[in-house]
Chains A and B, each alone.
Chain A
Amino acid sequence: MSTNQAKKPRKNALVLFIHKLGSPPWFYNFTGKLIPWLWLLFGVLAAWGLYLGLVRAPADYLQGESFRIMYIHVPAAWMSMMIYGLMAVMGFIALVWRIRTMEILAMSSAPIGAAFTLAALISGSLWGRPTWGTYWVWDARLTSELVLLFLYFGVMSLYAAFDEPRKAARAAALLALVGLINLPIIHFSVNWWNTLHQPSSIGVTGSTIHPSMLWPLLIMAVATKFYYAANLLTRARLMLLEQDFRKSWARDAINGVAAPTTHGEPD
């Protein structure tokens, strides 16, 4: 990569951006500047959403106060599925085009997705106690989340089992991809299994959602996306540093030497 690329015409700015993302020093510096803003946005949005959801929203006439758990449970469940999909898609890109940054982003996603899945499971079972009278019911949603957690565990433990990080990432990415193809089938069969064994299904969709209850949910859903982005990039930077710790850019980054921003060693 030439050092004068920044002065080239702007027509391939996007291509240039993608190439730059593939360069570890550039990625490290760029995300280093981005991450604080992402955390800030998450903090503001989460505070706002929680204020609206926990303080301002009226109690639900069917479920009383316990519906407020929804503001963490539903965004966490959404994130757990979205992150699995993103992880598999990034893994696919990494497998096909062998982009190391993509491998790292896919593998950094797994623990965050697993954390959201766990949060959704715990908040879901705590919602179940006052609503159903028991902490665990094998209902379709909780069971699907549980299977999703197992899928995350599979990807994470396969990644951890290899000594060589790139081989590990490729193997785990393939597993994530197989899991993504299977996920709709699992989801469908678990839903169907649930109706088969529990004819009187217990749903919460009966009550129509009032706008004052919907807004905090949407705000929290956006806030968790910023959490994911900030956490993902933090982890990806760290993984790059750990993999490249013998390279000079990593030492420069650690020692606070201002790394060049317009060029970097090609990956």
Chain B
Amino acid sequence: MDHAPFIWTAYAASGLILLWTAIAPLLRQKRARRAIHLLDPGKPTNDSHS
């Protein structure tokens, strides 16, 4: 049996799970920044996303 597809799938799946776990808080951080900025719109901000 050719084992390569199983190896690649295992690494790809694990990599995707760990990648998503790492990225999810960054996306949430964006939202938190926006919420804080809305609360306090008077001040200038360095955050280019909001």
Chain A: residues with CB nearer than 8 A to chain B?
A: 54, 64-66, 68-69, 72-73, 76, 111-112, 115-116, 118-119, 122-123, 126-127, 129-130, 227, 230-231, 234-235, 238, 241-242, 245-246, 250-251, 254-256
Min C-beta distance of B34 to chain A, whole Å: 10
Q: Could you mark each residue 22-50 of chain B with 1 if its beta carbon is under 8 Å from any beta carbon of chain A, else 0?
A: 10111011001101110110011111000
Known pairs A254-B36, A256-B46; A64 contacts B3 (CB<8 A): yes
- Which B residues are in CB contact (< 8 Å) with A127? 6, 10
Does B21 lie within 8 Å of A111, measured CB to CB?
yes
Known pairs A122-B13, A235-B25, A255-B46; A250 contacts B36 (CB<8 A): yes
Chain A nearest Cβ from B2, distance in angstroms: 9
Asked whether, in the complex, the Cβ of A76 is within 8 Å of the Cβ of B1, the reply is no
Q: Are the C-beta atoms of B6 and A69 separated by less than 8 Å?
A: yes
Chain A residues lying within 8 Å of B28, measured Cβ to Cβ, are 238, 242
Contacting residues, chain B, for A241 (C-beta < 8 A): 29, 32, 36
Interface residues of B (CB under 8 A from A): 1, 3-4, 6-7, 9-11, 13-14, 17-18, 20-22, 24-26, 28-29, 32-33, 35-37, 39-40, 43-47
Give Cα A130–Cα B36 distance, bound, in whole angstroms: 51
Taking the nearest CB of chain A, how far is it from the CB of B14, in angstroms?
Answer: 4
Write out the residue numbers on chain B whose beta carbons fall within 8 Å of the beta carbon of A76: 14
Contacting residue for A255 out of B13, B18, B43, CB 8 A? B43
A128 closest partner in B (C-beta)? B6
Contact of A72 among B14, B32, B44, B46 (CB under 8 A): B14
Q: How far is the CB of B36 from chain A (nearest CB, A)?
A: 5
Given contacts A227-B18, A235-B25, A238-B28, A254 and B11 within 8 Å (CB-CB): no
Measured CB to CB, the closest approach of chain B to A27, in angstroms, equals: 15
**A112 lies within 8 A of B21 (CB):** yes
CB <8 Å contact, A123 and B29: no
Partner of A119, one of B1, B17, B39, B43: B17
